Amino acid sequence: MDSKIESVLATYHEMLEKERGAPRVEAPGGRDGGRDMRMRAVGPRTGQLLNILAASLPNPTILELGTSFGYSGIWLAEAAQRAGGRLITMELHGYKSEFARDMADKAGLADVIDFRVGDAVEMISRLEVGIDFVLVDLWKDLYLPCLEAFYPLLNPGAIVVADNMIRPGNDDVKAYGAAIRAKQGISSVLLPVGSGLEISRFEP
């Protein structure tokens, strides 16, 4: 891997270690209030798996739901760059997206990333491209509405990865797991990697 990318990942790993060692502080005003500064990132094992899966697809258009501060996006963008594709990443908060863009610049990956700010459910419905890879990693009650929005856009052979399927593993993610398995053309498996990943493939 390029040394600039390795150095950016090392910075994120330091941030993650600090976050995981510190007491959990929620932003005032709830999950979308104030300036939520928690990365809530997927972690290195999941990052590496995302990278391997996404880079296995030819010229992939990758959709990331929940940019946060950009950690998983670096793994996905590296795969996109290597495989001749691109990453579209969606985040509700502009300040998180800006941080992610600065880090992507430092990693030399900004050229393959399209940063979009706003509500992902609404922005997916305005996409006019086929999707080859999706990372679902935003608030859990949005997993199902996002699935309904991106499913019609999946290209044959597309891979969908949803995080947090085992931890916290609440009713919202269970509903997502059941719904994606019920979709036509989907085969799916739950893997105990990181917080639990539902990995699904679309072959109509």
Site for ligand SAM in 23-42 (CB under 6 A): 39-42
Q: Which helix (H) or strand (E) holds 147?
A: helix 143-150
Q: How far apart are CA 128 and CA 19, in angstroms?
A: 37
**Selected binder of ligand SAM within 96, 104, 195, 196 (CB under 6 A):** 96
Interaction between residue 66 and ligand SAM (CB under 6 A): yes
User: CB 31 → ligand SAM: shortest distance, Å?
Assistant: 7
Please state the φ and ψ torsions of residue 191, each to the nearest 5 degrees: -115, 140
Q: Which helix (H) or strand (E) holds 51?
A: helix 44-55
Interaction between residue 53 and ligand SAM (CB under 6 A): no
**Selected binder of ligand SAM within 13, 93, 183, 201 (CB under 6 A):** 93
Site for ligand SAM in 145-184 (CB under 6 A): none
Interaction between residue 195 and ligand SAM (CB under 6 A): no
HSE, CB side, 13 Å, CA atoms: give it for residue 152.
8
Tell me the residue ranges of DSSP E strands in the chain.
61-65, 86-91, 113-117, 131-136, 154-162, 186-191, 197-202
**Selected binder of ligand SAM within 9, 54, 63, 71 (CB under 6 A):** 71
The two tokens of residue 136 are 């679902």
3-state secondary structure of 185: coil
Interaction between residue 76 and ligand SAM (CB under 6 A): no
Given the complex with ligand SAM, which of 13 and 201 has the nearer CB atom?
13
Given the complex with ligand SAM, which of 42 and 197 has the nearer CB atom?
42
Interaction between residue 137 and ligand SAM (CB under 6 A): yes
Interaction between residue 119 and ligand SAM (CB under 6 A): yes
Apex CA 67: angle with CA 115 and CA 32, to 5°?
Answer: 110
The binding site for ligand SAM (CB under 6 A) comprises 39-42, 66, 68, 71-72, 90-93, 96, 119-120, 137-139, 142
